C-alpha cells in the first residue's frame, strides 16, 4: 500500500548552488538538511524537509551516473516522484500483476531505504520510485 509521497527529486549540476536556492525558497536552516552519497546510484543527494515530505536534490558523482545522463539530455529539473510503501516486494508483485515493470530489483538507496523505479514509458513519462524504510 502506498502511504505518502516520500520525496520529489530534482536533478542539479551544482548541489551547493541549488541548496542555497531551495533553502532561501523554503526558509529552512542548514541544520535541517541531510546530505549523503549513494554509491549504487552514483549521486550525492541533499534532502530538504517540507512538512511530511522532502525535496531531494541529486548531483551526479561521475559522467556515467544516470543523473549525469539525465542532465546532459534535459538540464536541471524535476527527475522523479518517490512514493513510500510498507512492503516493496508486495508493491513490485502488484505492479507486475497489472503489467507494469520495474527497472531492476529493489536495492539500497539514500537514507538506508530500499528503492525500486518504474519505467517512465509505462507511467505517462513520469519516473516513479517506490521507497521502503528498513525495519
Give the pLDDT mean for 10-24. 96
Q: What is the mean pLDDT of residues 123-128?
A: 94
Q: What is the pLDDT of residues 97-110, one digit of tens each?
A: 999 989 999 998 88
Domain spanning 2-132, CATH architecture: Roll (3.10)
Q: How far apart are CA 85 and CA 108, in angstroms?
A: 15
pLDDT-based confidence at residue 135 (cuts at 50, 70, 90)? low
Model confidence band, residue 111 (pLDDT cutoffs 50, 70, 90): confident
- For residue 119, the 8-state DSSP code is -
Are residues 46 and 34 in contact, defined by beta-carbon separation less than 8 angstroms? yes
Three-class SS state of 122 = helix
Indicate the pLDDT class of residue 18, thresholds 50, 70 and 90: very high
Q: Which of 8, 126, 18 is nearest to 76 (CA)?
A: 18
> Percent of the chain beyond pLDDT 70?
99
For residues 66-93, give the mean pLDDT.
Answer: 95
pLDDT score for 23: 93
| Segments making up each domain of the chain, as ranges | 2-132
Give me the chain's average pLDDT, please.
Answer: 94
Amino acid at each position: 500500500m502506498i502511504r505518502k509521497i516520500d520525496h520529489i527529486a530534482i536533478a542539479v549540476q551544482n548541489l551547493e548552488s541549488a541548496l542555497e536556492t531551495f533553502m532561501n525558497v523554503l526558509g529552512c536552516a542548514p541544520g535541517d538538511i541531510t546530505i549523503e552519497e549513494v554509491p549504487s546510484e552514483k549521486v550525492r543527494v541533499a534532502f530538504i524537509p517540507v512538512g511530511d515530505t522532502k525535496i531531494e536534490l541529486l548531483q551526479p558523482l561521475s559522467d556515467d551516473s544516470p543523473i549525469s545522463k539525465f542532465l546532459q539530455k534535459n538540464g536541471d529539473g524535476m527527475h522523479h516522484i518517490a512514493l513510500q510503501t510498507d512492503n516493496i516486494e508486495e508493491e513490485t508483485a502488484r505492479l507486475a500483476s497489472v503489467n507494469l515493470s520495474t527497472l531492476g530489483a529493489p536495492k539500497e538507496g539514500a537514507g538506508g531505504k530500499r528503492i525500486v523505479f518504474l519505467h517512465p514509458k509505462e507511467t505517462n513519462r513520469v519516473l516513479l520510485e517506490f521507497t521502503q524504510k528498513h525495519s
